[in-house]
Chain A
Amino acid sequence: MGPEDTKNADLRWKEAMILAQAGDENAYRVLLTEFSVYLRKFITKRFGPLEAMDDIVQETLLGIHKARHTFNPSLSFLSWSLAICRYKSADYFRARGSRKEFAIGNEQLDLFASVDENSLEEEGKLQQLKDAIETLPNTQKQILKFMKFEDLSVRETSERMKMSEGAVRVSAHRAYEFLKKTLLKGKK
């Protein structure tokens, strides 16, 4: 969404919010539906991929609903609603610990995806890796199978596993960390 689109969307949402303040259900439903899509992009841009994405979006929508009487039509809808989003996300992270616990970097997944099976075989580590994978919880094992052996993307894996993308990333990250530790231990 470019700056011009954002500006137009802001004006459209502001009008919808004014109607919602007067009790228009349809305008409010459309507003929340459209805005939640924007909100996901905003949160991803601000915090990176998060396991808690769904929670923060829902908290923000509830916050907007609760505070809708404070919206001043002379101000921008986006700045008002994003202030609520920032507040709610800060509150969320404060209540549950650092946001780092909820984030997972793409580079870690890429690193895992780039592990070369041949080099492992040469080092005699393949069997060790297979054994370690067997000890993983079923969900993590399944996620690794989809991402590593079937080359599925995070999104495709999340659809198959019926999990959020963030949850898939976190599970993959944990599995990867566990395998790394196990292999390093074997090396020593």
Chain B
Amino acid sequence: MKESEIIERLSKNLSPVEPLWPMGQRLLFGSFIIISISLFVFMRFWGVRDDLHEQLNNIWFLVQMGLCASLIVIGVLCSFKFSIPRVKPPAAWIFGMILLHMGLLICLLGFLKTDPHEHINFQRFWNYFYMPCIRAVALFSLVAVIIYGFLIRRSLTTYPLATGFFLFSAAAAFGVFAVSLYCGSCDPIHILTSHFIPMILFSGLGLIFGKIFLRW
């Protein structure tokens, strides 16, 4: 087909377009739905951890939750930014994501300080991976990916890998946030192996997701 024919065909019967929702609006809308679904799951099926009231007085727990919440917000906004042609998030946001991940590791060390763990058996490290928590992280992350992914479906990214990575990072942070309200363990090794490592792996899956599903 000739170029002139394509132009003629594209411009014929051109309909007005509906612009994308503003990023903040999409973030609030998506978060509202995800929180509603999570609350339903907690109230109907799982319930929250028994010591949640005590943990709310634990500074390391609060810092961990705060870092996860920041990761969700920045990750979602980065993925929304990256999902529009030509638009990139400010470098400070990406740098902030790295800092927040490092913050989570420092937080783990904080846990370790308050709850010394002297008998780590590195030869049987695999045993520390606790499948119910890993499954829960994956489940909540998946819900977040579906909802936030639905909100970027109309934006056509020119950076599919970055969009996928940040989308999954935010979703995985939500998974850890939600599971921290449900899992009663304060063992830092458990949090590392069954919460944070799945979170990092899930973020990595975003690269594959972006490469396969966000191309257009």
Contact = CB atoms under 8 A, between A and B. Distances in A.
B86 A69 contact: no
A86 interface: yes
A66 B84 contact: no
A22 interface: yes
Interface stretch (A55-63, A105-113, A147-155): A55-63
Interface residues of A, number: 34
A interface, over-half SS = helix
A180 to B, nearest CB: 35
Interface residues of B, number: 27
Contact of B85 (A22, A23, A58, A87): A87
Contacts of B215: 91
A5 to B, nearest CB: 21
A69 B20 contact: yes
A87 B17 CA distance: 22
Interface in B1-48: 1, 3-4, 6-8, 10-20
B6 A68 contact: no
Contacts of B11: 25-26, 28-29, 32
Contact of B16 (A23, A26, A83, A91): A23
Interface in B151-196: 154-156, 158
Interface string A70-92: 10100100011011101100010
B95 interface: no
Most chain B beta carbons < 10 A, residue from A24, A69, A70: A70
A181 interface: no
